[in-house]
Amino acid sequence: MGAVEGQRVRRAPDPVAAWLLRRHPKLLPTFAAPSILAMLRARSQIVDGMVAGEVAAAKARGETLAYWSIGGGFDARWYRLRPLLMGITGHHELEDPEVMAFKEQVLADSTFAGHWNGIRRDTAKERQWALPPSDQPVLVVLEGVAVRLGVPALRDLLQRLRTQVPQATLILDLPGMLQSQQVTGASLAVGSARSRWLSASATGAASLRRRQIEHLGWRVHDDIWMSARPELRAPSGVAICAGVEAFRLLRLKAMPD
């Protein structure tokens, strides 16, 4: 989630992310080009704003609100937004057992351990992710999950969540470099056709149509599209600003039966 300045990637201001990357640089994948890192940073900031808005709205209505992060990996929203999230009834993380075990190990002796110990942690294999049934308001964040699951398994998860938490609000991202049967071309990874610079609708961001989302039991409240931007260079050829990959952010509300 580092900011990009020319060819230099500045590490994220998130102190937990910075701490983890200093000690475990291999957590940053080799394919994390500056354009991907810029997309991750922009996406995270918008999701933070959506989470803040949902928490504030629930408080104004006098409602209790549980928060679930599913497949968030090493995202540290639990620390970054801790003053805001202190007002919710429960902060949960659901993650793959191996990822969670490593996360617990590296954070156990850190200065963040006290905050991390306050998070309720659950584990399950990716294709088995599910929430305990609840009729109470729940905020679910699925940031980065589409890449991990793929579109068919993501649809299955959305359908399960609609049944398990019928009072849920769901925040979901669909990155441009997401392989999808809905988009022309076998792969939409970085380095694919230049058409991805023209419109996010020519990328994996279009992998779920509104009609499909509604068929799964979700009403679309926000549908934010961010088109890709190529790298900007000076006439000399020196990089001025890295590009940004396309992505899409959705805020969904479970539809009544």
Query: Residue 118: left if φ>0, alpha if ψ -120 to 50, beta else—which one?
Result: alpha
Task: Reply yes or no on whether the pLDDT at 169 is more than 80.
Answer: yes
d(CA 203, CA 106): 36
229 SS3 class? strand
d(CA 22, CA 28): 10
Task: Reply yes or no on whether the pLDDT at 184 is more than 60.
Answer: no
pLDDT in tens, 7-57: 444 544 678 888 888 888 888 777 667 888 888 889 999 999 999 999 999
pLDDT-derived band at 172, boundaries 50, 70, 90? very high
Confidence at residue 72, expressed as pLDDT on a 0 to 100 scale = 92
pLDDT in tens, 101-146: 999 999 998 999 999 999 999 999 999 999 999 999 999 999 999 9
In CATH, the architecture of 3-254 is 3-Layer(aba) Sandwich (3.40)
Confidence at residue 192, expressed as pLDDT on a 0 to 100 scale = 44
CB 164 within 8 A of CB 132: yes
Residues 6+ apart with CB under 8 A from 223: 210, 248, 249, 250
d(CA 99, CA 122): 11
Q: 185 vs 153, which has greater pLDDT?
A: 153
Average pLDDT, the chain: 85
pTM of the model: 0.87
Average pLDDT over residues 224-231: 87
The first and second tokens of residue 56, run together, are 């504030």
Task: Reply yes or no on whether the pLDDT at 167 is more than 70.
Answer: yes
Confidence at residue 3, expressed as pLDDT on a 0 to 100 scale = 43
C-alpha dist (Å) from residue 62 to 28, 71, 122, 231: 41, 29, 28, 46
CB 52 within 8 A of CB 77: no
Q: 82 vs 189, which has greater pLDDT?
A: 82
Q: Where are the beta strands (DSSP E) in the chain?
A: 3-5, 8-10, 66-70, 90-95, 120-123, 138-142, 168-175, 218-226, 232-233, 239-241, 247-254
Confidence at residue 183, expressed as pLDDT on a 0 to 100 scale = 41
Confidence at residue 15, expressed as pLDDT on a 0 to 100 scale = 84
Percent of the chain with pLDDT over 90: 56
